[in-house]
Structure 1
Amino acid sequence: MNLLLKSSICNPQSAICISGSKSETNRLLLLQALYPNIILENSSNSDDSEVMTKALQSNDEIKDIHHAGTAMRFLTAFYAIQEGKVVILTGSSRMKERPITILVEALRQLDADITYAENEGFPPLRITGKKITKHKVTLKADVSSQYISALLLIAPKLENGLELTLEGEITSVPYIKMTLALLDGIGVKTSFVGNTITVAHAEVVAEAKPIIVESDWSSASYFYSIVALSDIGTEITLSSYRENSLQGDSALAEIYKNFGVTTTFVGNSIVLKKTVCELQVITCHLNASPDIAQTIAVTCFGLGIGCRLTGLHTLKIKETDRLEALKNELGKLGANVSVTNDSLTLEPSSEIKENIRIKTYQDHRMAMAFAPLALRTDIVIEAAEVVSKSYPDFWKDLEDIGFRMARV
């Protein structure tokens, strides 16, 4: 489905309820599979979380997680400790191009039985679950935090827990801390001192009580962009959010001050408001929150200002190479963009070309990040249905706040 977004004006006052964080939900789904007395509320309704749920609940030997990178990593660790169970963990053609050697080797340090069913270093994987007694693992600290979280999530079910040593500068610390906070929340003892993380063995966890999943800050980023590109005084209220969020992308509240967007916490909601602001070239190091890089780059382009975004090395192995995708699509719109293996530089510009078709590369964040530009010009989003990976209601919610759109 290709979607024409017509030049729009955001309603001056709007309210949106966003479903639970995909990052929190997928971690909690795995913990729930290990400890069935966990009860979840406000879970994500994303494709990724549905795929994770289906894989955990089905008895099929072949587990196809499609494009869901988080599910691939978390389930690799999960099935490694399911004694006597053999599964083939596979996915889309793009998933078969996304490396997983680092996680497989870390699990093999623990004596896990994992082999590559096709190409060395990539899914699909053949996993034979077994009892694991080893408890020490070392891996480089600058890898995707999902590799680290996958190990931490299964750690309490290892007979001797886990001692994980990270070598070098740690990437995406907030996501690691999120995993540890969720473990702490169900009664598992953890420690994160220097570059060493320990997780204690826990056969059972605290008595059942509902865990309410906070709404997704990554999804909120698109509304930050919309407010930034809107008239002074525009407000959007989003729920449900916490001021002491576990999610790294909550950095949005501070970053978007640069674009005149203020964030006010009211009960379990945040109110985003456009205020007067002197715009200038910005520099952001997004090592801890790379998923909002696309949104920030597009916001800057829409405002006619430049930016330099760094700490983005993990974006090259996402649903697509997000740095090259951004360069290509912003370039179509008239932007001057340069990228390296871990950075993006956008030059200030005053022109936005009209009626440009944005290719989404099977990447939900490409579709959503470019949508706010409809506040500046007509734009076509190709394969717009890709948003269901993380935010199935995205287009409906945009219509609700005043965006005009039509299938083309």
Structure 2
Amino acid sequence: MDLHLKRSEISNLKSEISITGSKSETNRLLLLQALYPNLTLENTSNSDDSEVMLKVLKDFHLPSSNSKLFDIHHAGTAMRFLTAYFAIQEGNEVVLTGSSRMKERPIQILVNALNQLGAEISYVENEGFPPIKIKGKKITKNKVSLPANVSSQYISALLLIAPKLENGLELTLEGEITSVPYIKMTLALLNEIGVETSFEKNIIKVNPKPNTQNPIPLTIESDWSSASYWYSIVALSEIGTEITLSSYKENSLQGDAILVEIYKNFGVETIFKENSILLRKIENFQLPASNFQLNLQNSPDIAQTIAVTCFGLGFECHFTGLHTLKIKETDRLEALKNELTKLGAEVSITNDSLTILSSKGINENVSIATYQDHRMAMAFAPLALKVPIIIENAEVVSKSYPTFWDDLKKIGFLF
């Protein structure tokens, strides 16, 4: 389904949007709930990724054969977390597979780490990539090392199963650490359910925790990555626009809450209220110098949104810390270069950076390829405030934000 977004003007200057729970928090807590059934969860994400995670965990525990095949489609988080989960399910054998793109996304670093701990995981097709066969084992080893600049999901996958290991886990991260906020989120969630952890220099320790009967209720904060598109909309809109988003808190566990600080540069003020945030366009705001620079190493998932915002506002920018974007749903650096160039931008990329050099305006009615990547679709949509734009395969947003297009209609976007 392709969507033709006409040049839109926000007809309702004061709008309220409710966004479901963080996909990142939800997927971590779904795995922990499978390990510790006394957890109860509120405000879980309605994203495809979380639905896939929940379905696989439920289906695994249905009474049937001990040998099972699970297809997690495009859900990268589910692939990483479930690989670790199934590695410790003693006496069970499963095969994890996914979409054609998932079979191109590396998993060898995580598999090697689990196998070093005593797991038994092998490759069904291509070495280093899904599908993988996992034979559940009791793991007693408790020390392993990983390169520190890999996807934080590899690290979080190990940390999430650590309290169920007989001797816990001591994980050494070698080199400069990427995406520290996501690691800290995982550790904070472990702490919330009573697991003792420490993170000193490059060594993370997680103590074992037995099951308990006492119920632990947890409410999941709404997704800050999903909020990023609303920040972009306010930045590209007229003075007077106010959008309220719920449910958010000031002391967020999510690294993408850095949006509050980043979007001050683009004229967006964030006001925290009880259980919500108000985004407001600042009057008489002066945009930053055209050589705006930003290191997004700790929050790469919002890079696409910020890049499109800069382009829409018409100034040059340079982003670094983006090396993990090449192994996401698509190579997001190449995808951004391709689509921004079609719109009239001059773009250059390296293995870990993106620079938007200049543009002579924004080309109209450009068809944006989304590469089976939900964030490509949503990041480019706010440009409809400037020019008509076509979003290809718009249904891909269901991966993380199924009601996105409905929410845009609510505030006056035209389709």
Match of 1:313 in 2: 323
Match of 1:45 in 2: 46
Tell me whether 1:175 sits opposite 2:176 in the alignment.
no
Question: Which letter maps to 2:22?
Answer: S
Give structure 1 stretches of 5+ with no counterpart. none
More off after superposition, 9-18 vs 182-191: 9-18
State TM-score, norm by structure 1. 0.98
Q: Within 5 A, what are the aligned runs for 1:155-170? A: 155-170=162-177
CA contact (8 A) 1:20 1:216 kept: yes
Question: Which letter maps to 2:169?
Answer: L
Q: Distance in 2 between matches of 1:85 and 1:9?
A: 55
Tell me whether 1:297 sits opposite 2:307 in the alignment.
yes
Q: Distance in 2 between matches of 1:205 and 1:174?
A: 28
- How far off is 1:64 after superposition? 0.4
Q: Distance in 1 between matches of 2:268 and 2:298?
A: 21
Match of 2:7 in 1: 7
Q: Within 5 A, what are the aligned runs for 1:8-407? A: 8-10=8-10, 11-59=12-60, 61-205=68-212, 207-275=214-282, 276-279=284-287, 280-281=289-290, 282-405=292-415
Question: Which letter maps to 1:294?
Answer: Q
- How far off is 1:233 after superposition? 1.8
Q: Distance in 1 between matches of 2:261 and 2:338?
A: 28
CA contact (8 A) 1:186 1:205 kept: no
- How far off is 1:205 after superposition? 4.7
CA contact (8 A) 1:258 1:277 kept: no
State TM-score, norm by structure 2. 0.97
Q: Distance in 2 between matches of 1:403 and 1:107?
A: 47
- How far off is 1:208 after superposition? 1.0
- Over the matched positions of the two proteins, sequence identity in percent amounts to 72
Q: Which runs of 4+ in 1 moved over 6 A?
A: none
Give structure 2 stretches of 5+ with no counterpart. 61-66
Figure out how many residues of one structure are paired with residues of the other and give that number.
Answer: 405
Question: Which letter maps to 1:346?
Answer: I
Deviations 1:200-233 (A, max 9, x none): 0001257213200000000000000000000012
